[in-house]
Amino acid sequence: MTPYAIAIHGGAGTILRSAMTPEKETAYRKALEDSILAGESILKKGGHSLDAVEAAIRTMEDNPLFNAGKGAVFTHDGKHEMDASLMNGKNLTAGAVAGVSNIKNPVSLARAVMDKSEHVFLACQGAMEFAKKNHIEFAPDEYFYVQMRYEQWQEALKSDTVILDHTSRTPNPSPSGEGNKFGTVGAVALDVNGNLAAGTSTGGMTNKKHGRIGDTPVIGAGTYANNATCAVSCTGHGEFFIRSVVAYDVSCLMEYKGLSLKEACQKVVMDKLVKIGGEGGLIALDAKGNIELSYNSEGMYRASKVQDNNLYIGIYKD
């Protein structure tokens, strides 16, 4: 049997030690550990990688520290519009949702789209109706209210900007004091039967308008998994990741050019994205259990574990 492996991310961006309090850092490390252990608990019992990915992401969606689920940022109209996707590397099935509100765990709605519909991608009101028919858990507006997110929204409204949580494009520092960051969460996993899976979830950009959708729910851009190559989950400035089809590009470089996982991630994140001004990162895992946690920003909330090896947790640029 294959040794299992799992990796997660909780966002990338300008994450500096100088801007992080010890209490906040401890909270993030605990949140990352909780997430990866939730996924690992399934893998160590011989469970499927897809279930592990969903469990790891649900844990982060339930934590207000991350811009997904409960901690989703406010839109221009003061709403919460969330996106998520999942992909199964064994048979290339996938599920994705975009622009959904009041869904407690968007990743589980994406899973339902994959398992219970003939479609891949549902959006907005149609996705909400599908959620109701499939008994997906809803939560009231109050559940998604997080003071830190409210303050970020108010700051964005004053300057009439969309806060990208991005180093050079954000006019004001984050009110949270933790630095500017992309808050997308994601996970990739390899189970003992050699099956890869990937998933990603986000609340999008603070003060976003016009129903903006980023790369997170776009299969091939923010999420991709194929047992023949790798599983990838991205976090960053979504417009650039969509234009570069980042997640699939990593897989393509492995499949068609014979690059290793490390070489493919290096090419995409540190070369191709940088050339067009795209900031962010990704987590990737291949069928042999090799893990890459690649980013071109100042930091990325990340964690990984390979079966009997020690848990790795990182936040800042090493």
Instruction: Give the mean model confidence (pLDDT) for residues 39-67.
Output: 97
Provide CB contacts within 8 A for 2, sequence distance 6+: 190, 191, 192, 193, 194, 287, 289
**Whether residue 235 lies in the annotated active site:** no
Task: Say whether pLDDT at 163 is over 70.
Answer: no
Number of domains in the chain: 1
Beta bridge partners of 206: 163
Q: Where are the alpha helices (DSSP H) in the chain?
A: 22-43, 49-61, 106-116, 124-133, 147-159, 238-244, 246-257, 261-267, 273-275
Is the pLDDT at 175 greater than 50, yes or no? no
Whole-prediction pTM: 0.94
Rounded Cα distance, 160 and 217, in Å? 26
Average pLDDT over residues 129-144: 97
Of the residues 14, 59, 184, 202, only one is catalytic, namely: 184
Domain that holds residue 27: 5-316
Mean pLDDT for the stretch of residues 73-92: 95
CATH number at residue 275: 3.60.20.30
Torsion of Cα atoms, 39 then 44 then 49 then 54, to 10°: -20
Q: What does the pLDDT average to over 65-73? A: 94
Residue 168 pLDDT: 39
pLDDT of residue 157: 86
Q: How far apart are CA 310 and CA 264, in angstroms?
A: 25
Q: Which residues in 131-167 are b (16+ Cβ under 10 Å) and which e?
A: beeeebeeeeeeebebebbeebbebbeeeebbbbbbe
Taking only the tens place, the pLDDT of each residue in 195-233 is 999 999 999 988 888 899 999 999 999 999 999 999 999
Q: Per-residue pLDDT tens for 284-302?
A: 999 999 999 999 999 999 9
